[in-house]
C-alpha cells in the first residue's frame, strides 16, 4: 500500500508566478490535510478537505492560496503570485476518516521563491 | 485553543544511553497526542499516539511515551538510543473533537557513536 504521494518534491518559482502542489492520499483515505512548515518552525495547519469539499480552510491565507480535492485525481494546493515569504515546505497528510484516525504524511514539497 | 511546547531545541546523547524528548501540551478537552519523526528532506513518519487507555504507549523503532495528565506531558523515551535515531522529533496534539494537529517546534536529537 503506497503512502501519501506528493509532487513535485522541489519547486522553484520566481516572484509573481503560480505554484501548484499535488497530493495523492493513501489508498482508501478520503480526508486530506495541508500543513506548512516554515524554516525552524513546526508545522502549521492550513486546510482540511474531503472529496469535493473544503471542510476547514481557517489556516490558509485569505488571498492567493486555494485548495481543492476533486472527485477524481489528487488534491491541489495552488499559490498564485508567489512571494518570497511563501518559501516553505508544504506537507500533505491523509486519513481514512477524521475521528480517531492518525494522519499520515507525505514527503512534502519544498517551495523556493526567488 | 490547543498548543504544544517542546522545551528543548536539541538533545544530545551517546549511543546506548537512554533518550528522552520532552513535550507538554495544552488543550481544552481530552487530548489526542502524537509523536512524529522527520529525517532530513523527508516527510514526517508516525511513531506513536495516545488516545485513551494505558498511559504508557509503545510505538515504532523501540520508542515509547508516557501520558501524564496531571503534568500535561507526553515525553518520548527510548531505553537505548541508536545513531540512526538522530533526527527531528515533533510532538503534536489535537482536541478529541477536532482534527487539526498542533505541532511543537521540534527537537533535534543527535546520537553520537
Phi, psi of B69 (to 5 degrees): -65, -40
Give the tens place of pLDDT for each residue, A17-45.
Answer: 999 999 999 998 999 999 999 887 889 99
Among candidates A73, A114, A13, A37, which has minimal Cα distance to B41? Answer: A37
A90 in contact with B at a CB cutoff of 8 Å?
no
Residue A99 pLDDT > 90, yes or no? no
Determine the Cα–Cα distance for residues B82 and B24; give it in Å rounded to an integer.
24
CB pairs below 8 Å between A and B: how many?
51
Mean pLDDT over the full length of chain A: 92
Q: What is the pLDDT of residue A1?
A: 52
- Cβ distance A90 to A33 under 8 Å? no
Contacts of B102 in chain A (CB under 8 A): 45
Report the pLDDT averaged over residues A61-89: 95
A43 in contact with B at a CB cutoff of 8 Å?
yes
Give the tens place of pLDDT for each residue, B38-59.
Answer: 988 778 899 999 998 889 999 9
Task: Identify which of A31, A59, A105 has the shortest CB distance to residue B43.
Answer: A105
A11 in contact with B at a CB cutoff of 8 Å?
no
Which of A86-90, B53-57, B106-110 bottoms out in mean pLDDT, i.e. has the lowest? Answer: B53-57
CB contact under 8 A, A45 and B104: no
Cα separation values, B55 from B69, B75, B77, Å: 9, 11, 13
What cell numbers appear for B80 in the block? 537505548
- Cβ distance A90 to A36 under 8 Å? yes
- Quickly list DSSP for chain B: --EEE---SEEEEETTS-EEE--EEE-SS-EEEEEEEE-TT--EEEEEEE-SS-SEEE-GGG-EEEEETTTTEEEEEESS--GGG-EEEEEEEEETT----EE---EEEEEE-
Determine the Cα–Cα distance for residues A68 and B101; give it in Å rounded to an integer.
20
- Cβ distance B23 to B74 under 8 Å? yes
**Please, which residues 9-48 of chain B have a Cβ atom closer than 8 Å to chain A?**
32, 34, 36, 41-46
A107 in contact with B at a CB cutoff of 8 Å?
yes
Q: Tell the residue number behind the cell numbers 543527535, with chain if given.
A: B110
Task: Identify which of A42, A103, A104 has the shortest CB distance to residue B90.
Answer: A42
Amino acid at each position: 500500500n503506497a503512502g501519501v504521494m506528493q509532487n513535485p518534491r522541489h519547486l522553484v518559482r520566481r516572484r509573481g508566478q503560480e505554484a501548484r502542489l499535488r497530493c495523492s492520499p493513501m489508498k482508501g483515505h478520503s480526508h486530506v490535510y495541508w500543513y506548512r512548515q516554515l524554516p525552524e518552525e513546526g508545522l502549521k495547519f492550513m486546510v482540511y478537505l474531503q472529496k469535493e469539499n473544503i471542510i476547514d480552510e481557517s489556516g490558509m491565507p485569505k488571498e492567493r492560496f486555494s485548495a481543492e480535492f476533486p472527485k477524481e485525481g489528487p488534491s491541489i494546493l495552488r499559490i498564485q503570485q508567489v512571494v518570497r515569504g511563501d518559501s516553505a515546505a508544504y506537507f500533505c497528510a491523509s486519513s481514512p476518516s477524521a475521528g480517531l484516525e492518525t494522519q499520515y504524511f507525505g514527503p512534502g514539497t519544498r517551495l523556493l521563491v526567488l | 485553543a490547543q498548543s504544544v511546547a517542546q522545551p528543548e531545541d536539541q538533545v544530545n546523547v551517546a549511543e546506548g544511553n537512554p533518550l528522552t524528548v520532552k513535550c507538554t501540551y495544552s488543550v481544552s478537552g481530552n487530548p489526542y497526542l502524537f509523536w512524529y519523526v522527520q529525517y532530513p528532506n523527508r516527510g514526517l513518519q508516525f511513531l506513536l499516539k495516545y488516545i485513551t487507555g494505558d498511559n504508557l504507549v509503545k510505538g515504532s523503532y523501540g520508542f515509547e511515551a508516557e501520558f501524564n495528565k496531571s503534568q500535561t506531558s507526553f515525553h518520548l523515551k527510548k531505553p537505548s538510543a541508536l545513531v540512526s535515531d538522530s533526527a527531528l522529533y515533533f510532538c503534536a496534539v489535537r482536541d478529541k473533537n477536532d482534527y487539526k494537529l498542533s505541532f511543537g517546534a521540534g527537537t533535534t536529537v543527535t546520537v553520537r557513536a
